[in-house]
Amino acid sequence: MASPEILTSLKGTECLKTAFPGNNSEIYAPVDEAEFPAIIDALANDGCVLISLFCAQNFEGRKGLALFYAFERRGCENILVLMRSAKGSKATSVAQKFPSACWFEREVSDGFGIEFEGAFDNRRLFLHEVYPEDFHPLLKETPNKKIKLREKIPAESEYQFKPMNGEGVYQIPVGPVHAGIIEPGHFRFSVIGEPISNLEVRMFYKHRGVEKLAEGKTPEECVKIAEAISGDETVANSVAFCMAVEKISGAKIPARADRLRAVLLEMERIYSLLGDVAGMAVDIAFASGASPFFILREEILRQNANLTGSRFMKGIVGIGGLKKDVPENELRNLSSYLKTFPKLFKEAHDSVLSSTISVDRFDRTGLVEKRLVSPLNLTGPIARASGVQIDNRKDRPYGAYQSFKPRVKIMDGGDVLSRFEVKSHEILESVNLIQKILKDLPEGPVSSNFKISDGFCLSTVEAPRGQNLHWVYIKDGVVDRYKVRTASFCNWQAIEHAVIGNIVPDFPLINKSMNLSYAGTDL
Amino acid sequence: MNWPFLIYIFVNAAFALLISPFYMSLIKKIKAWTQRRKGPPLFQTYYNIAKLMKKEVVYSSNSSWIMRTTPYANMIAVLAAAMFVPLAFVPQGFDGVGNIILFVYLLAVARFFMALSGLDAGSTFGGMGSSREMSLSAIIEPTTIVVFAALAFTFKTTNLHEIFTETAKFPAFVMNPSLFLISIPLFLVIIVETARVPVDNPETHLELTMIHEAMILEQSGRNLALMELSSAVKQTLLTGVLVNVLMPWGLATEFTLQAILFSMLAFFAKAAAISIIIGLFESALAKIRLFLLPHIFMLAFFLSVLAILLEVF
């Protein structure tokens, strides 16, 4: 095979010889246990980023558990997936070299019972204390049904937050039940007065078992599951899932469907990011500054309903394209509505930033340093606001993005203000992209029929919050393993770093400037 | 002590209790309009208080008598303060009430109990709110005193009743432009004392940003209704000081039914005007960084000192 850039780190290793290309420009490389540490070192030295780590059982006829390490190299289209078998449910941890592995490994530990040796954090992740000790839901032998939860939790199994000691250190527990109508998440602050010394985020209070639910279902049925991963990333996730299935079968989808998918993806980005910028204004108590954004968001949601019959665009994306065509007159309405949009948006944007108080609140608040982006695999607007040029639409173009490239704005600040600016830019750029796509939208069918074949594929999309990664493994016509890694899952780590040194009342603003999805984390 | 005075106390307090909730809704309505929302009905705060009155009170198992007494202590302190601020009728010839310093510290008593109750329930947010409130009041209190001192310098008395009698005779700002100077710090005192944007956000659900709301998070039912009502009355009293100093038109000093009724109507309208200004002021601003709050207090402090200097020299 040709030697893509991502493989340079594997030079001279045995596993390079056995590497084989996947269905979607990813490269699988089975690794021998003896060679594994050297390869991890080489990848770390070359600045590769661990973007996901997942596990599959009885993969391609091999008994037992196989671990998949997905690596990305900046500016390189291919993703390298190291395959490693976890013999005896034990494996060495890579979290020291790749900190983003911390949550990944804990997730795999909970799901499959693999013990990672040498990890700096071995606590449970998505299985809270109430689940019994030997329960590992993603193992094939665990049936997908109700289990008996522990009634009494022994003291030693209780979740231990990282202690912080010292005079005047005080812990503030916040959540998982909040005063507003928001999703559940627990934030444990260690503070001295108002400044935050440490924050630990604990999620997964509403873990739904999405990955287990998908197993044994036909790919068509799974589209609904993908849509339900996170409400405001419906299109992104369903498109990512469908793309994976289409690539496995080697199917091509009609050009009209490809373009319309991009329109819907960008519509989703617009309303999702509009909510973010509005939320930032609300959180500094600037309600009159936020309301124009909310009005625009509502108008976009109504456009969505006109286009697809659903405000959140559920039930339109299907395997092979779209489940139904979008009415031509609604597309024309959308195009003319979007002509008025930028002016209104810029007015709203300027009114927020013309207030010295809001600029003061945004400026240098919640700093995400650039050096954190790769080790923690931060993605999306957060990474772009910290000066890193990544956007899955440009780096690994898919669908219509192969011909329609967004202009990506990079800010160096890493603070709330930078994120506000990056998100604002992306809203306008999405409007731009939609207009370009609508200008020469080809006629024709929106769906192609094909037989779904068995196989596996990794697909990535740029959701509003960053890169979402889906890995689908179809065996005997049904989904055998479905792994989803959303942008939120990784980006929660950013918040733990961003708040340090800030004061407690600034936390909601920092949180909103990232606006991560809890549902997208509690899969 | 005699009958007319008792009637004054009763009517003044009842009038304050009656009209105060209206202004809370009015401010919400104004803010909603600036956001192009419809907003709550103008009587929503009355409905809320009536609803809360009927609800059961839940106490945290950690709480002590402080939690149980605070709503009443708060209400009593505020109603006692109401004696000092004649809203619609200034009684003549009664000594002993109206001292402006005592007025300020009656409000401080209410605040003191509220902060204690915030700590009492043992919840994190309550403690956080109390700590913030106390640190801020340590800064705002000197300013408030200086603002009222400026008022006292201008009128050569520390008695609010005498000040109002003076202004009721003829609108004093015609003679005395330094009252304009004082009106700005007085307005800022209202904003700070009633926990409004840019100091605090009464509408927020974000516990971590709260100051005033955090302290009453653990209050429920009738107790919460009393807390809300007493903050509403507090706002009316502070507005009353501003209104009757700066726009005293129609303020009754004679004990006739006609004059008092007219004066009540006039006060109602004037306080509504101030509430609208508060609503617009809140809408125009965002909440400033917690540690920058002293800047606002400094502005009030500076203008009051300027007023004092103008009066002295």
What pLDDT does residue A393 have? 93
Q: Is the CB of B198 less than 8 angstroms away from the CB of A291? A: no
| CB–CB contact A284 B286 (8 Å) | yes
pLDDT for residue A362: 93
Widest Cα–Cα separation across chain B: 59
pLDDT at A77: 87
ipTM of the complex: 0.90
List all residues of chain B from 12 to 71 with a beta carbon under 8 Å from chain A: 31, 34-37
Under 8 Å between Cβ of B53 and B222: yes
Residue A49 DSSP class: E
Look at residue B166 in the predicted model and tell me its pLDDT.
Answer: 86
For residues B265 and A17, what is the distance between their CA atoms, to the nearest angstrom? 92
Q: Which of residues 118-137 of B touch A (CB under 8 A)?
A: 124, 128
Is the Cβ of A363 closer than 8 Å to some Cβ of chain B?
A: no
User: What are residue A468's phi and psi, to 5 degrees?
Assistant: -105, 135
Tell me the CA end-to-end span of chain B in Å, nearest whole number: 39
Nearest CA in chain A to B279: A288
Q: What are the distances in angstroms from CA A94 to CA A98, A101, A105, A463?
A: 6, 7, 9, 27
* Among A179, A180, A285, beta carbon nearest to B201: A285
What pLDDT, on a 0 to 100 scale, did the predictor assign at position B252? 86
What pLDDT shows up at residue B174? 62
Give the model's pLDDT for residue B6: 83
The whole-number mean pLDDT for each consecutive block of 10 residues of chain A, a chain of 523 residues, reads 71 83 90 90 91 92 91 88 88 92 94 91 91 91 90 87 87 86 90 91 92 93 94 94 94 93 96 95 92 96 95 94 93 96 96 93 93 93 94 92 93 94 96 94 91 93 95 93 94 93 93 92 90
How many A/B residue pairs have CB atoms within 8 Å?
78
Is B145 within 8 Å of B220 (Cβ atoms)? no
User: How many residues appear in chain B?
Assistant: 313
Residues A97 and A115: their CA atoms lie apart, in Å, by 17
Inter-chain residue contact B285 with A503, CB threshold 8 Å: no
Asked if residue A292 lies in contact with residue A344, where contact means CB atoms within 8 angstroms, the answer is: yes
Which residue segments constitute the domains of chain A, with CATH numbers given?
5-117 (3.30.460.80), 160-202 (no CATH), 210-514 (1.10.645.10)
Please report how many Cα atoms fall inside a 13 Å half-sphere around the Cα of residue A300, on the Cβ side. Answer: 32
pLDDT of the residue at B3: 76
What pLDDT sits at residue B98?
Answer: 85
Low-confidence ranges of chain B (pLDDT < 70): 1, 171-175
pLDDT digits (tens, 9 = 90+) for B151-198: 898 888 999 999 998 888 876 566 677 888 889 999 999 999 999 989
Closest-CA residue of chain A to B122? A172
CA pair distance B115, B107, nearest whole angstrom: 12
Rg of chain A on CA atoms, in Å: 23
pLDDT of amino acid B204: 86
pLDDT of residue B172: 59
pTM of the model: 0.93
Using the Cβ of B289 and the Cβ atoms of chain A, whether some distance falls under 8 Å is answered with yes
Closest CA to A509 of A348, A309, A284, A269: A284
**pLDDT tens-digit series, residues A9-35:** 888 787 888 888 898 889 999 998 889
CB contacts of B292 in chain A (<8 Å) are 360
